[in-house]
Structures are given as structure tokens and as C-alpha cells.
Structure 1
């Protein structure tokens, strides 16, 4: 049975290679990363309102708690990691022989015993260890948090670990150990919730009350300690934010769920969505988490990697099966736990929680409640501006009563600085329009919180840049090509993303007006699609006229202009190039071409990039592409991406993956975006800058096939 096997595996990992263990006397924990000395004290707490859940003959619940906090000085005796009895019990339970338990009593720690506290009214974080594990396993994490100005209470849940030592010398064993069914784990998690509430009661009514701010309390735990965090938050509203570190949740979170911030942080091999029953418990509870939330997985980690058991065990020569070194695992854990509580208890925004970080490549964002765009791959900061344009030479093609054509354009460019407010992805009205009828159970303004990478209104860096015009798919706002636009700009391009008014779900104008999808009410026959593509060609030519005759003139080089688009935006690239000779190179990204390319065709460079339609590459290509391919007389390529779907090449796919939406792709949108960025950059580098790009001569990705 799965639930029973988890504990067995957790215990046995310590004994994988006991014969290789060596008794190194210089065992150390991770050094705290904050600038404040750390103090600690041990608290004995007695709850007389209830009997012990595991030994009912004991008419009260006894707990030992290690309290860590910022201290006035780093001078003084350091905390003992474990007592001799606790160390022996840990080794005995794990089957480790040949190593004296005393090595764990001398592990170097950094907290000064009974050091004088520095500060008051600090945020408080309660930490709960894994089943059978003493509270000592979370010492490094506790010390690190305290060194950054936080009070931390690490709870020993009596009779649930192999040994707890009390001030009077008594040592309790693991009365809860034995056969473990569903009811057992639910009892364990609910009991820990009661323990934590009692600890909070005790601390906030004791001599330590002035140390902590009772309005800023968080909780995290490892394994079942992490799983218990949800139970504790459900029953105790004082806990404002919580983290489950690698713990399968066996007590389901029921409606109405939980609306406070929550983070899942676990092994990639176990908790990547869809990988097994363990990740299934997170998915079940994820759906009931109604507030800010993240689901992060870390590559190369084993279950003990998040704790000092992994850190000390590795120094003893024990093999847990991890490929990420224990010190690195501890650093990753501390960084994300610290960032989470800094944001949700201290109100300090943490970019580390917004999107994957190059500083921690092991960490992947499996799902999120706040979508994000992947960071640009170029070395230049990116700025952006919204540009309103009005073409008085023609009426609007979809609303003829409007005697002019209004357009909104998002202009992206290399910026002089990365500092400043980030560009808002969509307005509230645009977000609501795009999400309407999506079937997603999310707030209508969700996409206003989308994390972008460009600085709104930043000062441009450079002039005479190649310009790429991007055109989005039908019904999709221009924002859905932001990830691609930001990436191009980071490589030195000016990029104009066109919002084709009345052709998308909705578009906001600077004066507050909102234009819906008037074209959506028109029958979508062949004539409709031709009108759409030809109209977009007229839009793009007007955008080029406007940009090359405005304050942005010096930014762009009118002799180096390219165009690309997605779906009908890609299809409209061909008629635009036919009508406007200023466009020197074009790309169609996954767009069926409704306006056929007629003789004499097109002699300028062109590339088709789409998702693979058949089981075998290049066997079921788009017939409209085949028709137009014959009329392309210049440099040309046709590439297919296996496992991608139509949305994969845009921000729609990225958001879908981040929110856990299944849109049929087997290649992640992040990977598809990586591929699309690589080919779009390479194509324009070659044809607007004259730079050789080998990826255009032979597929540089295993998912990519060149069909022609």
C-alpha cells in the first residue's frame, strides 16, 4: 500500500550504504546566510487539555520545542544537534552500524544557547519535521531563517519520532510506529495541527510573547510535517502562510478550501504533476487552494535532501540516491522557504517566486496561480511602450460607422536599465474578455498579475535597430506574443506587436474605451479569412508608416524590417510582404494561409514553423503551405515541432501549462517557446543582420524536423 511504503522507504534510505560510512568528527550544518547572530532555547510545553493521542494513559500532551531567534551576540556555547539517546535511536531505526552515535552529538551548529534576543515583534515560523525524525533535522533551515530576522519554533511531536529527550532526562520512543493505514496518517496530520496550535497559544502567552508578532505567523514542514501544514492552517487562522516540503497529503483539503498563500516544494521525480499517486494528492489539494499558490519541483533531490539528515548523512558517506549535493539541496530549500515567508509575512516582493531563476536551475515551476513569462535569453534589458495609432485614410473594416482605423501597438526595445515597474500584461477588461468562456476557475483579472520582464516606459538603448513586426492569432490580444517580443528585444531588436482592433477578445484604449470582437459576429467563410489577412496587411503597413515618421524614427532602421505572426497573424505575413516591399523577411508560425500566394510569388526569405500534424514528421503537412511553398522563390524553410500544439508557440500555452491546463501538447510550452525563440531569432539574424545561424541549416532540436 502506497501510504505505508512511504515511511518504510524514508527510513531505509539512511541505510543504503552503511558500510561506506566514515566517522568524520567535523560534521557541520549549513552556515546561516543572514547577517544576524542566532540564539536558541529549548522549551518544555505541557497541554493539560487533552491526553496524549498515542499513549492515552498519559493524561496530557508533552512537547519539546526549539526556539531560534536573532541574537545580540554570536559568542557563547553552541546548541547541541542531538542528544546521545536521540542519535542512537536515529541510527538504530535506520540500520546504520559502524558509526558511533556520538558523531551526531558533536555536529557543529551556529545557534548560541540562551543567547539574548535582538529585536521584538518578529514574524514567527513554526517548523514540523518528518515522521520518526527529531526536530534537529530542521536546524539548518531554522538557523538560516533566524539569521534573517525571524523567530522559528521547531516542534518535536512526542511519540511520533524515534526519540525525544525531556529536561528531566526522560527519553520517549516512537509509540506511533507500527502499521500505517489511511486513518493513521489522517490522525497524525490532525494531531500535529493541534500540537502547533498549542505551541502558538503557549508562545503568545509566555515570556516570549514580545518576541513575536502574532499577526505574522507562518508554518512549514518536511514530509508529514509539511502535509500537516494544511491541516494546521485549516484549523488555525493565525497561520497566514504555509509550505509543504516533500510531503504527500493524506488528509484531503475539502471545500471551501484554503485562501491563504501556500507553497508545495518537492522532488521532481515524485511530485512532478501526473507522475504518480503522491503528486496526485498535491493535485487534489491544489484545486482547493484558492489564494496565492506555487507548485515547485527540484531536480536531483532525495527525500532527506531538504533536511539536515541529508546534509549530515552525506558527510558520513551515506547514499540517499540524490544527484544534487546535500549542501546545494539545503541552499535551494532555504532560499525558497525564506523568499516565501519574506513575501507573505513581511510584505516584501520576491522575484524568486515569480518565475524560474537562473540562480537555481534545479527548480521548475510545475504550476502557479500567478502566471509568468520566461526570462528573455539575450543580454540586454528590455523596455516597452504602448503606442496609440489612428489611420484616417480608411474606415474600420469591421465597424464601418467608425470612419478611421484605430490600432494599439506594444513596442519592445533594448533598454538602458532593467530597473523600474514591469509592463502590465493585460488590463482588467482585456483579461476578463480573454478568460471569458475559458472554463478556468480563476479570477477574471488574473492576467493583470502576469509577471513580465520588460520595464514600462524605459529609456531605449541604441538606434537604427532592425524592426520585427508581430501579428497575433485571431481573437488573441497582442499581449499573447509578449514572451517572443521580449526575447527579440533582449537580442537587440525593436519589436512592434500589433493589436488588430475588433479582431481580438477585447482591447483597451488610453482614454478608457474598450473595443470587443466585432468581427466575431461575422460568418467565418473563405471570404472572411481573406478579408482578415488583407486587412492585417493594411494594418502593418500603416504601423510601419507611423513608426518611421514619429518620435520612434531614430530607433529603427527602415532598411531592416521583418514580420512574423502566429496563426492568422502568421498567415497574413505573406500578403503583407506582397503588398509592402519594406518587409525583407517573414515567418508564419502555425498559421493556415487563406490568401493564396500567386505568381510571380515571393522572392524574399520566408519560413514556415508549425506543430507536427501526423504521427510521423512531414507526412501530413498543411496543404495551404504546400500551395504557397511552390510560389516562394527565395530562401525558404519549413520546420515542424513534434509534440507541440497550436497554442504552444504563444503565451497562451505558457499560461496553460502554468495553470495545469491540458491542451493536448506533449512538448511543454516552455520548450516550444525555447524552440520558437531560437528559430525566430536565427531567421531574422540571418536575413536582417546577415549573420550565419547553423540552426537554420540543420535542425538543432530533437523535436524539430525540416520538411522542405
Structure 2
């Protein structure tokens, strides 16, 4: 951990921990978080001695002594519960923090849930090594240890001697913090590397002890708090037995170097310090993130402070101490336990955990800052969403880009309210489509990355409802139809049928049901003004054909042909105007960030229309898109023009979402998730008002500080 972080923690400890409750001594004994699993928990203390190396902090000691607490599923038993801390340890913690007015003995009475020396139940258990923060005794991770054990894990909680304020040994000796007082970068690197050696020695010792039958050596993970978390990277690099790791709120001080680490890893910390781009601390995560080549997540938790992830925050709050957190300590413990357990369930037990796929409504405090498996944000409506792929063939015209093909083939993704949310989710892209899009984007990632994109719609689900308003969505040039999936799913969750059109030969690549793959034939054509006009007019023709096909197919009962709207992004948005001019069935339209090339001429368009785009200059609406200004004058019906500050072109699509999730910059200062929230709100409101006749005040005045109405 960097000097700045350590000094900040020490100041908080000295100033805020001293704020005590006047009635603390009369309060009941503090309690730890109750284990959430269904198994009783046992615990035992182990004394280990490594004669192969001298102590790194007291060289006069020719060996390394460690105390370890094991937690494990136990046979039901009555017996004494584990003491949270000894009197000497409690006094050392209070003295280091400058706490006055509370007797240290209060920490010796904290109620725990693990029975001392209970008989173990089971064998060959997945194991998790836990490492506490600098200066902190291992007791600070007792709740987490008990919770994991209650779910069937063997937990190995290590005390790193001379690196905390007090370690009590079986013979009564209490060692202090010989490592305290140092704070240079070299010190923190040395500390992390020493901890890695401690962990390997502990694993060696367990594997050759009477506890070996409890341990499955092929399923070992590690997590730690603060420097215990940063040391997890070091331990994994030096010991391949550790299959998965977590850094809980620890600033990396020993950079991860090439070839990096290909095993699963989770960064999990407070939002105030570790949100990407916030400062030095998050910068250390960013540097290591680039060297993590396997499954990875970067999650932040709002309202938490450094002690919030540990029992010191939990017990301190019960004693009336203020750490500056706005999320209650009990809630912080529950969040920490849930995500740590989900991580190890997935990577040590092979049980997929939806909690790790995308933000969960039950934990709104947790944000997915970055991920190696992109996801779409959950729809905001109250209806499950289904989707299906529809193949269409227009034999009345040749393909505009490959004239040797005497017909026009289209793929359409149809989204709709579903009868159930159960079932396999829709695949985002085929392998060929993913590879083509990623190659076109220039990203150096696995070509099949987007085949595993986490979507929210159930493939081929049974529709719910009939006579629904229909929205046609048209994507940007070179972008497959899938890049508007988040918007399509959201509209469907609010009761719309959505036809998301793939314009063949106009995107990086499109797969057909028979296995054929069509590349971007139009990409080889000179992109002059005539090209863009042809593209927009061709999109209008595609949309009319899609409407003809859907309203005369098995899907016709799902659609109310009198309530059809259209929206698109980029050239798909620009194509909305010519589509509306050519087809009176389209009652309302939106252009999302698309420069128009086919000028709207008198008598113009009298149906509702809205422009929604990113702010072009430093000042909202100045300059405005000149093509929008030109067409604005020809819109004679209801009309709006909204600019979104801080967004960029990709922000309105899944491309921006994936960029943010992977940590790939595209120039936006407003996150794609926020821009998507704004876009979803205005798209839903626009069609609610003009297809359903439901007034939406957000269309009369900007509902977001980032949004300005230009006209």
C-alpha cells in the first residue's frame, strides 16, 4: 500500500476511532456477522515454524514463526466459542489507534460463532487462505472466515508475525510490530513478497500435517484485506497451487509484470478510492489489470471505508466509533461475504455465479468498474424479455452492394415481452461476428470475446401479450445489429415489440442460419456523398420490407400495425427520416447521434421526431450539427433536439458499454452506462408519448444535468 494510503488510514485511526460512545461499557458485548451457510463451524489454532529462513523483520531470530487459525465445517457440537482477541492483542490494537475511554477488554468479549477444536465434518474441501491488513491481527477477518466455513470451505487465516501490533503464541509470548515505522515503496514490496513466502510455507505445512485430509490441494484460493490483498498477487505468481485470488481494498505496490497472471482475479474495494481514474491507488489496479490475462473483475462498493470490509469496522461501529462510512458495517460485511463467496464458488467449485456477471439489484452499492466478460445492463422495465432471430428474403430487388445476388437478405432480431424469464439467454454474437467486429474495432482481445457477452433476453421465449407497439431499430454503419441490444431489451421490458435490423453487407459481418457469413461488401465502395445517400435510402427500403414481412408473418398478432416507430444510431438514425418519408406506417422517429445526408425538403415531415446526440463543443448546442439544423427547419410536427454532455458517438450503443467494461478509452467523460440510462429514458418517453399517448414530462424539460435541449 502506498504511503499516502497508509498515512490516511493512520490519521483516521487516530482521530475518528477515539470518538467513543459514553455508554460503551454498559452496552452488550459486540457481535460478529452470523455465518450465512447451513453448516456448523469449528476452529483451531496452529503454531508453525519455518526453519528454512530467518525472520524477515527480526534477523536475529533464525526461523519464521507463524500463528494460523483454521476454520472448517464441523460436526454439530457444543463447546467454547473462539475468543475474538486476547487481552494483549486488544490492548495493542487500542493503543495503536489511540482509542481512549473504552477498556480494551471489550474486544475479548466479542461473540463469535466457531466452536474451538470441534470435530471436522467432511474432507477434500476447497480451501481459502486469508491474509489481514498491515498492523492488523488475523482476528479482523473472523466473520469472513466463519461465513466461508459455514458454506463448506476450509479457511486458513494467517497471522504474519511482526507485521501486526500483536501476535499471541501458545507459550504466552506476544510479539509486537517490528516492521512498523517503514513506509517506502521498497518496504511495501518487501512486505508483499514476504507474505507470499508465508503463504507457501503454510500450504506446505498443511499438506504434510494431520489436517491434510481436510484439504483439496487442487482447489486453493486466496484473498486478503489491504496489504493482505495486494500480497495475493505475489502469492499467486510464486505459487501455482493458488488457483484464484482477491484483493480487498489494497493498493498494489509491487507491480505485476509480464507475462502477468492468467488465473481468475478480483479487485474489490471502496468506490471513493478505487473507481477507475480517481488517483494513484486506482492507478495501481489499472496497471495490474492490464497484466491479468484470465477471468477478471474490478468491483467497487459505494459508502464503504477501509475498515468496512473487516470485523474492526463491524465491532467499532457497535462501540460507537465513526470510520466515515455511509454504508452500515453490517451491510458492508454482508456485501463482502457475498462476493468473496461467489468468486470462490465459481472458480474453485465450478458453480457459475450470476452475481459476478453483472450488477445485482440486491446489491446496488456494488459497481462493475471493469470486467473481462462484458455484460449488458439489466432492462429497467418490469417484464421478462424474449428474443428470436428472423431470416427475411426480399426477392423484389437485388442486393444494393452485391448486384450479382438477385435478392436482398436480412437478419432481424425480434425482442418482445416474454411469458417467463427462465431459459438460456440469447447469444450476443456468433464467433464469426465477434471476430469481425473486434478486428474492425482494432481491439487486441480474444476474437470470440463477445460470444460470451451476458445478455438479459431469453432465447426463443414464448411471447406475452399481443397488439404491441413496434419499434424498428437500425444500427450504425459497420456495426452489427447486436450493438443496439441493450436498448432493444429495455424497450421490450416496457412492453414494446422491437425489430432490430441487420443490414447485410453494411456491417463488419453477419451470420445466417445456414452457416453462411456475409462481410462488409459496402466497405470497399468509395465513401463519397452519393455513397451515404445510397446507404440511407437503402436502409429505408430495408425497413419497409421488414414491416411488410413481419405484419404478414406468424409474428403479426404480436404487433399493432397502427403503432410503429423507428429509431437508429449514426447512419441508422440518419436513415430514420427517409424511412418515415417513404413509409407512412412509421408514426414517430428518433435520430440518435447520426449526421443526415439525404436532406429533408419541403413539405418536410409532420410526424413527431427527435434528435438525441453527443455535445459537439465545449458549450451545449454550440456548434450544432449543421445537417440537423438544416432538417430541423423542415420538421413541422412535434420535435425535440437534445445534447448529452460528456458522451461520445459510441456512448449510445453497446460498443461504449463494452469499452468501459474492458477499460478501453473512446474519449467520453460521461460513462456509457450513464449515457445509456439517459438514452433509454428519452427513447422510452418519446415512444410512450407518441405511440401510446402517454404524456412524458421529461420530454418538456431536461431530466438530467448532462442534457440540454437545443431546440
TM-score, normalising length: structure 2: 0.98
Secondary structure in 2 matching 1:367: strand
In the alignment, which residue of structure 1 is the partner of 2:333? 330
Q: Could you tell me whether the CA contact under 8 Å between 1:7 and 1:131 is conserved in 2?
A: no
Partner deviation per Cα, 1:206-225 (whole Å, 9 max, x = no partner):
11111121111000000000
Secondary structure in 1 matching 2:54: coil
Partner deviation per Cα, 1:144-196 (whole Å, 9 max, x = no partner):
11111111010000111011111111111111112221111111101100110
Secondary structure in 2 matching 1:14: helix
CA distance in 2 between partners of 1:420 and 1:649 (Å): 28
CA distance in 2 between partners of 1:566 and 1:323 (Å): 40
Q: Equivalences for 1:344-493 in 2 at 5 Å?
A: 344-493=347-496
In the alignment, which residue of structure 2 is the partner of 1:170? 173
In the alignment, which residue of structure 1 is the partner of 2:660? 657
CA distance in 2 between partners of 1:704 and 1:183 (Å): 48
Q: Could you tell me whether the CA contact under 8 Å between 1:14 and 1:95 is conserved in 2?
A: yes
CA distance in 2 between partners of 1:139 and 1:454 (Å): 40
Q: Could you tell me whether the CA contact under 8 Å between 1:124 and 1:153 is conserved in 2?
A: yes
Q: CA deviation at 1:269?
A: 1.1
In the alignment, which residue of structure 2 is the partner of 1:272? 275
The answer to which of 545-554 and 671-680 deviates more is 545-554
In the alignment, which residue of structure 2 is the partner of 1:285? 288
Secondary structure in 1 matching 2:62: coil
CA distance in 2 between partners of 1:675 and 1:276 (Å): 27
The answer to which of 323-332 and 370-379 deviates more is 323-332
CA distance in 2 between partners of 1:292 and 1:13 (Å): 35
Matched, 1:143 2:146: yes
Distance 1:158-1:504 versus aligned 2 partners, 3 A rule: same
In the alignment, which residue of structure 2 is the partner of 1:13? 12
The answer to which of 691-700 and 66-75 deviates more is 66-75
Aligned with residue 85 of structure 2, among 75, 82, 87:
82
Q: Equivalences for 1:104-143 in 2 at 5 Å?
A: 104-143=107-146
Q: Could you tell me whether the CA contact under 8 Å between 1:25 and 1:103 is conserved in 2?
A: no
Partner deviation per Cα, 1:506-545 (whole Å, 9 max, x = no partner):
0011111110000000000111011001101111111111
The answer to which of 203-212 and 534-543 deviates more is 203-212
Aligned with residue 191 of structure 2, among 182, 188, 191:
188
CA distance in 1 between partners of 2:432 and 2:477 (Å): 18
Secondary structure in 1 matching 2:446: coil
In the alignment, which residue of structure 2 is the partner of 1:639? 642
Q: CA deviation at 1:601?
A: 1.2
Matched, 1:49 2:48: no
Structure 2: which 5+ runs fail to align?
none
Matched, 1:677 2:680: yes
Q: Could you tell me whether the CA contact under 8 Å between 2:595 and 2:628 is conserved in 1?
A: yes
Structure 1: which 5+ runs fail to align?
none
Q: Equivalences for 1:508-519 in 2 at 5 Å?
A: 508-519=511-522
Q: Could you tell me whether the CA contact under 8 Å between 1:13 and 1:319 is conserved in 2?
A: no
CA distance in 2 between partners of 1:610 and 1:3 (Å): 41
CA distance in 1 between partners of 2:699 and 2:324 (Å): 40
Matched, 1:257 2:256: no
In the alignment, which residue of structure 1 is the partner of 2:226? 223
| RMSD of aligned alpha carbons | 1.1
Q: Could you tell me whether the CA contact under 8 Å between 2:20 and 2:102 is conserved in 1?
A: no
In the alignment, which residue of structure 2 is the partner of 1:213? 216
In the alignment, which residue of structure 1 is the partner of 2:206? 203
Q: CA deviation at 1:503?
A: 0.1
CA distance in 2 between partners of 1:337 and 1:389 (Å): 47
In the alignment, which residue of structure 1 is the partner of 2:502? 499
Q: Could you tell me whether the CA contact under 8 Å between 1:15 and 1:318 is conserved in 2?
A: no
Aligned with residue 546 of structure 2, among 527, 543, 546:
543
CA distance in 2 between partners of 1:437 and 1:49 (Å): 55
In the alignment, which residue of structure 1 is the partner of 2:73? 70
CA distance in 1 between partners of 2:507 and 2:670 (Å): 27
CA distance in 1 between partners of 2:386 and 2:259 (Å): 41
In the alignment, which residue of structure 2 is the partner of 1:590? 593
In the alignment, which residue of structure 2 is the partner of 1:610? 613
Q: CA deviation at 1:4?
A: 2.9
CA distance in 2 between partners of 1:496 and 1:437 (Å): 25
CA distance in 1 between partners of 2:532 and 2:164 (Å): 68
CA distance in 1 between partners of 2:528 and 2:15 (Å): 67
CA distance in 2 between partners of 1:5 and 1:462 (Å): 58
Aligned with residue 604 of structure 2, among 601, 606, 609:
601
Q: Could you tell me whether the CA contact under 8 Å between 2:261 and 2:294 is conserved in 1?
A: yes
TM-score, normalising length: structure 1: 0.99
Q: CA deviation at 1:300?
A: 1.1
Count, aligned residues:
707
Q: Could you tell me whether the CA contact under 8 Å between 2:19 and 2:322 is conserved in 1?
A: no
Matched, 1:565 2:575: no
Distance 1:74-1:279 versus aligned 2 partners, 3 A rule: farther
Q: Could you tell me whether the CA contact under 8 Å between 1:128 and 1:156 is conserved in 2?
A: yes
